[in-house]
């Protein structure tokens, strides 16, 4: 045996019948291997989403003014102010994380898809080109989000008020609230699919929403589970560490981006690959 390695000797190569890795294995391997890339992309997404986050915070305060007033009516003024801020901040962070930030979400979804497919990517330059390519459609999606949010809030508040005032029709308005809540949940689940479809296919807004709804409902149980886990990861730090914004920010940029957004994007990419690209 030589003490020197023979680099001219061919290796084993790749086995022909080697089984494919399970999606969950690929997910964790990618999450660990690309962790610092997640932090970079998450930091950029959070930084450029601040104007949208502020808009949502102010908007949620006006939209939820009546429900919040009924909750904090008997509280101490300082506690009431803190409670109102926490509720609006929670909703704002939920919307930015689960619904996205329009053009930024198209670029962010492209980065996530590149991580899933193990494709090399320059986060800033490549994201900039994707943002420009999908600017019009992503802005339309953003405007639709604003409309859906406003109409849903008005409808939910109206159903809630009518339920309290009309004893005979209370059950009917309760059912309408549950139906509206289900629609909002499905609409939330649709967003990773909307942006992944946007950057993958050349299709109209109608086709985007139609296909996103189909994929969301076809895999509803796991989609719902991932969304609830992501929502919990957002809500828990805010309500436990909300008085320490720096702590919340660090958690959001490190653990949050991996545990919240990437599972949704990963599952969306996998389903689009299986249901649309391979058929």
| Range name among 87-91, 188-192, 207-211 with the lowest pLDDT average | 87-91
pLDDT band at 84 (very low <50, low <70, confident <90, very high): confident
Q: What is the residue whose two structure tokens read 């300082």?
A: 78
Res 238 pLDDT > 80: no
Closest CA to 112 of 216, 214, 40: 40
| Range name among 95-99, 165-169, 183-187 with the lowest pLDDT average | 165-169
pLDDT of amino acid 224: 94
**Is position 198 within any domain?**
yes
**Is position 221 within any domain?**
yes
**Is position 2 within any domain?**
no
Domain that holds residue 198: 23-277
**Between 165 and 117, where is the model more confident?**
117
Q: Which two tokens stand for residue 68?
A: 């919040």
**Is position 1 within any domain?**
no
Find the Cα–Cα–Cα–Cα dihedral 111, 59, 69, 234, rounded to 10°. Answer: 10
pLDDT of amino acid 14: 45
pLDDT of amino acid 261: 85
**Is position 18 within any domain?**
no
d(CA 155, CA 180): 8
pLDDT of amino acid 10: 46
**CB of 91 closer than 8 Å to CB of 60:** yes
Q: Which two tokens stand for residue 67?
A: 């429900």
**Is position 239 within any domain?**
yes
pLDDT of amino acid 228: 92
Mean pLDDT of 3-18: 45
Return the beta strands (E) in 104-145 as ranges: none
**CB of 113 closer than 8 Å to CB of 74:** no
| Range name among 68-77, 111-120, 134-143, 261-270 with the lowest pLDDT average | 68-77
Mean pLDDT of 212-236: 91
**CB of 137 closer than 8 Å to CB of 205:** yes
**Is position 183 within any domain?**
yes
φ/ψ (deg, to 5) at 275? -85, -25
Q: Which two tokens stand for residue 19?
A: 């089984």
**Is position 212 within any domain?**
yes
Q: What is the residue whose two structure tokens read 């940029």?
A: 253
Number of domains within the chain: 1
pLDDT digits (tens, 9 = 90+) for 127-158: 888 999 999 999 999 999 999 998 988 888 88
């Amino acid at each position: 045996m030589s003490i020197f390695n023979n680099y001219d000797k061919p290796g084993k190569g790749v086995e022909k019948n080697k089984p494919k890795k399970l999606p969950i294995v690929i997910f964790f391997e990618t999450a660990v291997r690309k962790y610092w890339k997640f932090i970079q992309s998450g930091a950029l997404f959070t930084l450029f989403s601040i104007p949208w986050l502020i808009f949502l915070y102010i908007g949620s305060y006006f939209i939820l003014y009546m429900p919040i007033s009924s909750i904090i009516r008997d509280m101490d003024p300082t506690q009431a102010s803190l409670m109102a801020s926490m509720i609006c901040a929670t909703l704002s962070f939920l919307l930015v994380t689960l619904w996205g930030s329009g053009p930024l979400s198209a670029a962010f979804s492209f980065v996530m898809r590149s991580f899933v497919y193990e494709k090399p990517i320059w986060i800033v330059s490549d994201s900039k080109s994707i943002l420009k390519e999908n600017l019009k459609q992503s802005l339309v999606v953003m405007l639709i989000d604003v409309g859906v949010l406003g109409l849903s809030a008005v409808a939910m508040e109206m159903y809630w008020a009518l339920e309290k005032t009309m004893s005979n029709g209370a059950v009917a308005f309760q059912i309408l609230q549950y139906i509206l809540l289900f629609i909002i949940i499905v609409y939330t689940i649709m967003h990773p699919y909307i942006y992944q479809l946007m950057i993958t296919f050349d299709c109209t807004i109608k086709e985007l929403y139609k296909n996103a709804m189909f994929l969301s409902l076809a895999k509803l149980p796991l989609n719902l589970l991932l969304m609830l886990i992501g929502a919990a990861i957002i809500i828990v730090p805010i309500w436990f560490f909300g008085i320490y914004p720096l702590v919340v920010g660090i958690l959001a940029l490190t653990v949050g981006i991996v545990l919240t957004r990437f599972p949704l994007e990963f599952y969306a990419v996998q389903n689009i690959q299986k249901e649309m690209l391979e058929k």
